[in-house]
Amino acid sequence: MQIALHQPDIAGNVGTILRLGACFGVGVDIIGPCGFAFSDRALKRAGMDYAGAASVTHHVDWASFRETVPPKRLVLLTTAGGTRLPEARFADDDILLFGSESAGVPPAVHAAADLRVRIPMQVGFRSLNIAVAAGIALGEALRQTGGFAA
């Protein structure tokens, strides 16, 4: 299981997701370009001392990510997902892909996803913070695959 962030905008969210990855033993791929300098203080503050323990791989762009990451199932978390999270079935080698906070993912990346999943919410609400969504989706994926640490 791993998390991939496509062109993230907000350093604090990435730091929080790095902390999430470190705590659950899940690698994080960051696909550039990012909307901030990766050494941004907000990233370090949100990740605290956990960020250093995270397994992080930087990719210059989407093409670089696709060339260097072995083919695995891409599960895109998107408000336009056709599968509700409770009905999604995860595999232990899935890549949970999240788009940027401001724009999501471009159509080509959306089309590359093998599964498009949405987190159901109350009527009238559009989306969750990306770090919150990553925590919810990763928790469900790990629950299904038995991936939680002892």
141 within 8 A of 94, measured Cβ to Cβ: yes
Q: Which CATH class is domain 2-145?
A: alpha beta
Burial of 52 (0-12, 13-18, 19+ CB in 10 A): exposed
| pLDDT tens for each residue of 27-70 | 999 999 998 876 656 666 666 677 778 899 999 999 999 999 99
Rounded Cα–Cα distance for residues 42 and 77 (Å): 24
- Give every CB contact of residue 112 below 8 A, 6+ residues apart in sequence: 66, 74
Q: What is the DSSP string of 35-80?
A: SS-TT-HHHHHHHGGGGGGS-EEEESSHHHHHHHSPP--EEEE-TT
> What distances in angstroms separate CA 23 from CA 26, 47, 48, 85, 113, one per listed residue?
8, 11, 12, 22, 26
Domain ranges of the chain: 2-145
Low-confidence residues of the chain, pLDDT below 70? 38-48
What pLDDT is recorded for position 52?
A: 76
**What is the pLDDT, as a whole number, of residue 71?**
87
Q: Which helix (H) or strand (E) holds 84?
A: strand 83-84
